[in-house]
Amino acid sequence: MKSRTAYLTFNTPERHAFVNITPQVRKVVEESGVKEGMVLVNAMHISASVFINDDESGLHQDFEKWLEKLAPYSPESYLHNRTGEDNADAHLKRQVMGREVVVAITNGKLDFGPWEQIFYGEFDGQRPKRVLVKVIGE
C-alpha cells in the first residue's frame, strides 16, 4: 500500500471565506502515485471546515447568509466567549459545515459526482490554519 501526507496552509484576509482547494488536493493525489484508494481532507482547526459542494458564487453567498442566521457573530451572546475569545460562532459554523471529507480515487483521479469540488471553509480567519491531505491506496 502507498500513502502520502501533505499539509496545506491557509491565511484568509477576511474572517469568513470559502476556498476551492480541489486543485491542491488533486496535485497531492497525483504526486502520491495511488491509482485506487482514498483521500482524506481534514481541517485541523476547530473554527474551519472542509466540505464538498458546487463551486458557484451564489451558493456560497447563500451558505454565508444561512450560517450567519444560525450562528450570528455576536461576541456577547455566547458562553464560550467568556474565555476571552470572540469566535464561538465560528465553532458552531464549523460543526454545521463539517470537519473533513473522504473522496475515492479511481484510476489515479478524484472520483467526484457532477459539479463536486472540495472547499476549505474559514469562519475565524486572519491567521494561518492547516488542512491535512492523507492519501492511501494502491
Please report, for the domain that includes residue 45, its CATH number.
Answer: 2.60.120.460
Q: How far apart are CA 76 and CA 79, in angstroms?
A: 8
**% of the chain beyond a pLDDT of 70:** 100
Read off the pTM.
0.95
| Predicted confidence (pLDDT) per residue in 25-43, tens digit | 999 999 999 999 999 999 9
Work out the mean pLDDT of the chain and round it to a whole number: 97
pLDDT digits (tens, 9 = 90+) for 45-67: 999 999 999 999 999 999 999 99
What does the alpha-carbon distance between residue 94 and residue 14 come to, in Å, rounded to a whole number? 16
Beta-bridged to residue 122, according to DSSP, are 17, 48
Residue found by looking up cell 456560497 in the block: 60
For range 124-131, the mean pLDDT: 96
Range of the domain at 95: 2-137
